[in-house]
Amino acid sequence: MNEAGAAETGVAISPYRRFTRAEWASLRADTPLTLTLDDLARLKSLGDPISLEEVIEIYLPLSRLLALYVAATQGLFKATQRFLGAEDGKVPYIIGVAGSVAVGKSTTARILRALLSRWPNTPKVELITTDGFLLPNAVLEREGLMERKGFPESYDNKALLRFLSDVKAGQRNVCAPVYSHLIYDVVDGEATCVDRPDILIVEGVNVLAARPSRHPRDIPFVSDFFDFSVYLDAPEDVLERWYIERFLRLRETAFRDPRSYFRKYADLSDEETVRVAKDIWTRINLENLRNNIAPTRPRASLILTKGEDHRIEEVALRKL
């Protein structure tokens, strides 16, 4: 049925093809499981109860799809090089991973990195987070943006775009700043460098967002450099619960480090901790989600929708 016919019959028109968990899992085909339980324990984030079953049913099919996409892109690049008579050069395949705070982006990004690095045509897979491109706290405080940390305007977008442009151009040893969640700030003088990887995964809450309004129209979007993007989705109330649960766990772990920016929360009671976490969620993270993050969901190549137990229940793949 064409789109006109679909509209006449009341059938919803969508750029995505949607799969149940079982339908998506069947697309694994013969892709081997290359991660162990120990690997998974090292890769998952605090409070993200991901299982090997999740890897098998969701991430193995996704790694198979991405391996096919990367191989096709590599073939197209070689054909272009032959046409141009060029001999040198390598264009990394860039994957963006987006979604709300507490949705599990870091775990997804690390699992994808581990799986994709085991495919023979992509042995070199790197991962960076956009946290390193947040403006330093001193700058955020001076510009009155500390309460909007993580919003699009709190990033050094020029530096992020320059980094992605250099990586996409095949330059050697392109470096990104390092962010510490312990001190809640960019680490002065530290950097992580990527050297012409086969795949670069870029993870961050707003990697699919539009440019800030103060930027000229000819400045590209961050996502213009992506070959593929993943958006992790979950209902707002579920995300809030996960955020509060994570905040409670951090109170017992990282917040107790004397160097922690959040050390002041370490000795709060359960009731006080929940109240503080709810306030931060509602005042900052929920506003960012509603106004900046969730509106970018339709720009993603793939949407992974989670249920209350963190399991991915539906997969939506953008039609080519």
Per-residue pLDDT of the chain (320 residues; tens, 9 = 90+): 444 444 455 556 889 999 999 999 999 999 999 999 899 989 988 778 899 999 999 999 999 999 999 999 988 888 888 888 877 667 899 999 999 999 999 999 999 999 999 998 889 999 999 999 999 999 999 999 999 999 999 999 999 999 999 999 889 999 999 999 999 999 999 999 999 999 999 999 999 986 555 555 667 889 999 999 999 999 999 999 999 999 999 999 999 999 999 999 999 999 999 999 999 999 999 999 999 999 999 999 999 999 999 999 999 999 97
In CATH, what number is assigned to the domain containing residue 38? 3.40.50.300
Q: 56 is in which domain, residue-wise?
A: 15-318
Q: What is the DSSP string of the chain?
A: --HHHHHHHTPPP-SEEEEEHHHHHGGGTTPPP---HHHHHHHSPTT----HHHIIIIIHHHHHHHHHHHHHHHHHHHHHHHHHT-------EEEEEEE-TTS-HHHHHHHHHHHHTTSTT---EEEEEGGGGBPPHHHHHHTT-GGGTTSGGGB-HHHHHHHHHHHHTT-SSEEEEEEETTTTEEEEEEEEEE-S-SEEEEE-TTTTPPPPTTS-TTSPPGGGG-SEEEEEE--HHHHHHHHHHHHHHHHHTGGGSTT-TTGGGTT--HHHHHHHHHHHIIIIIHHHIIIIIGGGGGG-SEEEEE-TTS-EEEEEEE--
- The reply to whether 6 falls in a domain is no
- The reply to whether 3 falls in a domain is no
| pTM of structure | 0.92
- The reply to whether 180 falls in a domain is yes
- The reply to whether 4 falls in a domain is no
User: CA-to-CA distance for 295 and 289, rounded, in angstroms?
Assistant: 8
- The reply to whether 137 falls in a domain is yes
Number of folded domains in the chain? 1
Closest to 112 in 3D by CA, of 193, 15, 229, 20: 229
